[in-house]
């Protein structure tokens, strides 16, 4: 087996795995969207803290769709020896790589900006749906209990929320589970928001996070190199 054929086969198998993984994530994302309560009943208590701050279903659908596209372009492009598909594969992976580098820079240098963006999206969601949307309420209750936090920023995220209007109190975690969790006790308790707690967890596990990020970056660079190698070899055939 020649070098070109070997790399082509590895490209096909690698991207087939990506395609199947993307399909799995997309399927789970659709499942969460259609029947979120069943998903939470099974995985809610062991879900990642970060995954619970965002909408799990949309996150999985987006990631799954991206992986499906990448897997298809890489696998089918290598199989059919299509220069067009291989170039599209290279371009998509390159765009994702650049976006990841930009996101890492923002996360490292502009943490305050990341908090501002999250606050602009998540805080209004809590004020509008916490206590009314059962899935969202359950997700945040599990999150706040597991990592001992309150809202995204603090207890004020729940001001004017359906929960506060119905029960007249803030979530118990905002007062270190003391009762009754009114505004005075919540302010006195000074429980940090989940964003700060998650940020501390990330800093604590920075080595693991950095290792995973570096591993993904290496795979992306290798994928681009292989696709460009096949692209250039097709010119010689």
Q: 109-154 pLDDT, tens per residue?
A: 766 666 677 777 788 888 888 988 888 888 888 888 888 889 888 8
For the chain, domain boundaries: 3-108+208-236, 113-198
Mean of pLDDT values over 25-40: 70
| Integer Cα distance of 142 and 148 in angstroms | 10
Output the average pLDDT for the chain: 80
Instruction: Note the pLDDT of residue 56.
Output: 63
Instruction: Note the pLDDT of residue 111.
Output: 63
* pLDDT band at residue 194 using 50, 70 and 90 as cut-offs: confident
What's the token pair of residue 26?
């997309």
pLDDT at 53 over 60: no
| Integer Cα distance of 189 and 7 in angstroms | 59
Mean of pLDDT values over 81-101: 88
Helix ranges restricted to H, the chain:
3-34, 36-43, 56-80, 83-109, 111-129, 134-147, 162-167, 183-189, 194-204, 206-236
Percent of the chain with pLDDT over 70: 82
| CATH topology classification for 113-198 | Cd81 Antigen, Extracellular Domain; Chain: A (1.10.1450)
Mean of pLDDT values over 54-58: 63
* pLDDT band at residue 197 using 50, 70 and 90 as cut-offs: confident
The pLDDT tens digits of the residues spanning 179-192 come to 889 989 989 988 88
């Amino acid at each position: 087996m020649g070098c070109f054929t070997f790399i082509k086969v590895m490209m096909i198998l690698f991207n087939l795995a990506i395609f199947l993984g993307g399909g799995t994530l997309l399927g789970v994302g659709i499942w969460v969207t259609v029947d979120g309560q069943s998903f939470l009943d099974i995985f809610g208590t062991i879900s990642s803290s970060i995954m619970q701050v965002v909408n799990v279903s949309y996150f999985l659908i987006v990631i799954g769709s991206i992986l499906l596209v990448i897997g298809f372009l890489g696998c089918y492009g290598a199989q059919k020896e299509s220069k067009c598909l291989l170039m599209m594969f290279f371009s998509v992976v390159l765009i994702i790589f650049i976006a990841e580098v930009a996101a890492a820079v923002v996360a490292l240098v502009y943490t305050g900006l990341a908090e501002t963006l999250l606050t602009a999206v998540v805080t209004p969601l809590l004020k509008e749906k916490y206590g009314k949307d059962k899935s969202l309420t359950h997700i945040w209750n599990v999150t706040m209990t597991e990592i001992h936090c309150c809202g995204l920023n603090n207890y004020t995220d729940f001001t004017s929320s359906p929960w506060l209007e119905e029960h007249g109190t803030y979530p118990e975690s905002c007062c270190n589970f003391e009762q009754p969790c009114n505004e005075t006790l919540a302010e006195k308790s000074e429980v940090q928001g989940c964003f700060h707690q998650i940020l501390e967890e990330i800093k604590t596990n920075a080595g693991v996070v950095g290792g995973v990020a570096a591993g993904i970056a290496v795979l992306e660079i290798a994928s681009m190199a292989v696709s460009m190698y096949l692209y250039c070899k097709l010119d010689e055939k």
